[in-house]
Copies of this chain bind each other. A is one copy, B any other.
C-alpha cells in the first residue's frame, strides 16, 4: 500500500509522496451549505455528485449539517461544507484538500518544505486520518485519505 519508491539522492526523505488529486473545500456558515449547494447549481450549473451529513450532530440539530457536498463543474470538483464551531475545520473559509495514501509522509514533507502544522494529525469520525498545514502564503491544505465515503456516512 505505502510504496517505498526511492528517488533523488540516497535518502532525501519521503520525496515520492503522490497525490491523486486535490479538491477545493468551501466552508459556509452553518446551516447554509444546503443553500450554497443550490446556489452553485443555479448559478454555475454545478452537478452534485455526493453528499455526506454530519453523523453525530444529526439528532441534535433542527437542521442536519452538511459535512461535505461534492459539486462538479465541467471536469472539476469542489466541496461545500457547513462550518460550525464544534467541527475541527480551519478558520478560513477555504482549504485545499489533498488526497493521498500516505498521510504521515505527506504531512512531514510539507512541514520540511516550510509549511506549518495546523493542530495535530486527527482521526476524523468520517474522513479518517486528516492532517492540516498552512503554507507560507497563508493557504491551508488538508491532507486526507482517498477512502472518504460520499454517501453513506450517516449510519
Q: Tell me the A residues contacting B by CB distance below 8 Å.
A: 17-24, 26, 28-29, 32, 35-36, 39-40, 42-45, 73-76, 78, 93-94, 96, 98-99, 106, 109-110, 113-115, 135-139, 141
Contacts of A141 in B (CB 8 A): 44
Q: Can you report 7 A-B residue pairs in the complex whose CB atoms are below 8 A from each other?
A: A17-B44, A28-B137, A39-B114, A43-B113, A44-B98, A44-B106, A93-B137
For residue A32, give the distance in angstroms from its CB to the closest CB of chain B: 7
**Most B CB atoms within 10 A — which of A20, A94, A137?**
A137
Q: Is the CB of A21 within 8 A of B99?
A: no
- Cβ-closest chain B residue relative to A136: B39
